[in-house]
Amino acid sequence: MRRALALARRGRPAASPNPFVGCVLVKGGRVVGEGWHARFGGPHAEPMALARAGKAARGATAYVNLEPCCHTKKKTPPCVPALVRAGVRRVVAGCLDPHPLVSGRGLRALRKAGIPATAGVLEEECERLNRPFFTLIRKGRPYVILKAAASLDGRIATACGDAKWITSPEARSEGHRLRARLDAILVGIETVLKDDPKLTAHGEGRDPLRVVLDTRLRIPPSARVLRDGGRTVVFTAREDLRGRGPRRGAAVVRRVRRTKAGLDLREVLGALGEMGVGTLLVEGGARVHTSFLEAGLVDEIWLFLAPKLIGGAAAPTFFEGRGARRMRDAIALGLTEVRRVGPDLLIRALLD
Ligand SMILES: NC(=O)c1ccc[n+]([C@@H]2O[C@H](COP(=O)([O-])OP(=O)(O)OC[C@H]3O[C@@H](n4cnc5c(N)ncnc54)[C@H](OP(=O)(O)O)[C@@H]3O)[C@@H](O)[C@H]2O)c1
């Protein structure tokens, strides 16, 4: 199963928003075929492993990190009949597929065909790898990671708005590698106006789709996010897009509703989902982080902490807003990782 997970990771990020899946066929203690889901809409891990094994697949045990699919409402043929036809002896899945059209049916169909099939090996690790896919299926929206670089006193800029740089080059490179693994990166218009970021992966891999929240369409055509690098989507509430759009620089402009807190984030996430975004990195600033957290739309936090104290009541922190009235109202997080990155600290945590 560990090998299946390692193969599955090869599909990151190109397979998104499909799940990351790896498959290993073992016979007589020997690996006779391997496969993984390499790109969105492309062939699944199981047929790739079966093709590589050829006749040797007969009598082999298939290890796959996600339950094999059995439904036909998708681009690729279902994997269960392929496994049955190939004559595998047994199927061991890491975890069940949360898709309502699968969810246990894949294993049942295998058993019905006389092939013993079980799930629950390295289950937690298998579910963790595909948390974005599980979120897409269960919540109908992309998986959202909030990332911030802060001083030990939680500031993400000085009171004058200077944020370059809070953390070390090592921490920033780690952030760029994270960008390369995700489908899109989102910031608020104030971050664009104050920092003029490029929001690319800085050569660490594939550049994510760049997303700006800009209610009044204040973004200047000279902004680097519209010029250097790949695609950009600017969300706005402006009605009079004629003459100003739909294209502005290299960007597509999309209109969404406005709410009290700013642009309607659920509509933004819905539109991004339709564009094939399965994973989204929210990278500031304070107002945008606060809106996402208050709306309960954050799945994971990556907080880089620099051993510095910025101070200043007017300096932004990465979560502001009204705040919790009592301790029991505070947002509870589950720590998943604490690690030193150069001179800084990276804290990763999950939200419910
Ligand atoms: N250290 C870090 O990790 C980091 C990362 C990024 C930024 N920063 C710093 O953060 C500061 C900027 O933060 P900020 O809080 O002033 O601005 P921001 O969060 O970058 O942008 C906020 C603006 O986005 C627009 N917006 C549209 N819909 C929104 C919604 N649903 N929720 C929130 N905002 C929405 C609003 O402007 P309109 O009404 O005009 O649309 C709002 O004023 C800068 O100093 C920057 O350097 C630090």
Q: Which residue CA neighbors atom 38 of ligand 1 most closely?
A: 215
CB 237 within 8 A of CB 255: yes
Q: Which CATH architecture has domain 2-135?
A: 3-Layer(aba) Sandwich (3.40)
pLDDT per residue as tens digits for the range 228-287: 778 999 999 998 766 565 455 567 899 999 999 999 999 999 999 999 999 999 998 999
Closest atom, ligand 1, to C-alpha of 237? 41
pTM beyond 0.85: the answer is yes
Q: How far is the CA of 192 from the centre of ligand 1 (A)?
A: 8
The strand order across the sheet containing 334-341 reads: 247-248, 251-255, 232-236, 209-213, 184-188, 279-282, 143-151, 300-306, 344-350, 334-341
Q: How far is the CA of 47 from the centre of ligand 1 (A)?
A: 46
Residues acting as catalytic residues: 46
Q: How far is the CA of 204 from the centre of ligand 1 (A)?
A: 25
Closest atom, ligand 1, to C-alpha of 284? 6
CA distance 200 to 184: 10
pLDDT per residue as tens digits for the range 23-81: 999 999 999 999 999 999 999 999 999 999 999 999 999 999 999 998 777 677 899 99
User: How far are the Cα atoms of 58, 185, 299 from residue 347, in angstroms, in the given order?
Assistant: 46, 19, 14
Identical fold for domains 2-135 and 141-350, yes or no, is: no
Other beta carbons within 10 Å of 260 = 5
pLDDT per residue as tens digits for the range 157-198: 999 999 999 999 999 999 999 999 999 999 999 999 999 999
- State which of 153, 288, 297, 303 you would mutate to test the pocket of ligand 1, scoring each by most atoms of that ligand within 8 A of its C-beta: 288
Could you tell me the residue ranges of all domains in the chain?
A: 2-135, 141-350
Q: Tell me yes or no: is domain 141-350 CATH 3.30.70.20.
A: no
Pocket residues: Cβ below 6 A from ligand 1: 148-149, 156-157, 161, 163, 166, 187-191, 194-195, 213-216, 218, 261-263, 265, 283-288, 291, 316
